[in-house]
Structure 1
């Protein structure tokens, strides 16, 4: 699989503040790359560097296997659509008139306006002034502007910010549709873990400007170690009995903690404890939530 974006050792420093540090990022073709981190972690700065809006202090950035520099930046960006922070628009013009301006600047066919309006489901609001659009409609218009050049890569910075639940659902469905139907690669940043969990195929987690995790969403979920917790009437004695049987375990508060076990193994240890006259009060299966994993990686609370 081709890598659409590769950054190597990318850093950005403003004065004494290091906003991004030694970032090695890889975005695969056809993926939805969820760029996740708390507010202020360096997500927007990273995306701006990929788009050439901000020059990195050090490191290299390649898009479509071409290293970005001042000579080739514009030719590369012809195949990139983006929506950074919030969409820009002329409120006194209609949605269609706003798109006509972008279409002219991009030098694409006027037919493309109808296509992108259908993609973002604004065909029925095309003649309405943008000042009368809801926040969700403005966000979709911003994505329509980003799509008008038929990009291979779409970069979206916090596209669900400020939307109500219905708007978030619409945005999520739209983002998930684009790679399947149009073969696009998407990078979408967010500080909301549950949003990324519902649309990304791959995840990069950034903390204080450093990438602390990068892999598939499936791999992130695999970090949620399942454990068996047993509470007995004599935990200290029960722990020794379980250890003597050859199973690793430890005491944690009111529970004995064991690794993930099958139902038959749990029944076996329960039987051993009963045979040694130790009453079992409770057996529970515990699994780290994605929020717990995020918290461990970022050291900050996660938005839900």
Structure 2
């Protein structure tokens, strides 16, 4: 596979997770710096909001509301203007810090958690996925999931794909009309590759960051890898965006675990053009502008 070289888009961050393209802007969490940013297509960067308990997953409801994971206190927050408020409290449901989530076309949120105190070195154990409905109801929809990480809804809302990091696989579920999950199956066995964040394209393929190998790969249902990008460090997450939906934005940490532990600002965003665009690219909303003070 011969791939174009990704270009540096923005750098000097601490640890960038969960990039999302929305209304002409790239939104991303800097987990260790407790901040959410939005960047224009030209790389102009705005600090949107601080999240004291570590921002992680990001996503947008159908009305454009930004939902942010507050990892350490297991809450989903919503951003209204410049004010954060609670959208859902999963502290009595999650067995570890909240991680990432996906939103289906009916604004139901499927969210995972670590399952144990990963930071304190507790023994590894599986956990559950939870669904948060628009009325605030929280329901357990899958058990025995091993460190659920990045996730995405594909097939026009009919399928949820979740990265099970420690099992080195992507797992798929059918979503029924009520939001229940069934028909659990392996979407892709990745061998020794441990998946982190991910996104889907218009063909239903998944681009996924492989944390332990520094790769981003595009994988089809069944496990065939069609594209591969290599970075000297840790591959974290990705999203498709840009004017035509064909720009793949990639977050990576270009350094060692020791650099990360020392808080060095070696996390960066890269971009590369790809052939298959994001799903539903013809339904883009209007482009927002960055008008506030930028960093």
Fold-level match, TM-score > 0.5? no
Question: More helix by proportion, 1 or 2?
Answer: 1
Task: Say which structure, 1 or 2, has more relative contact order (CA 8 Å, 6+ apart).
Answer: 1
Q: Which has the larger radius of gyration?
A: 1
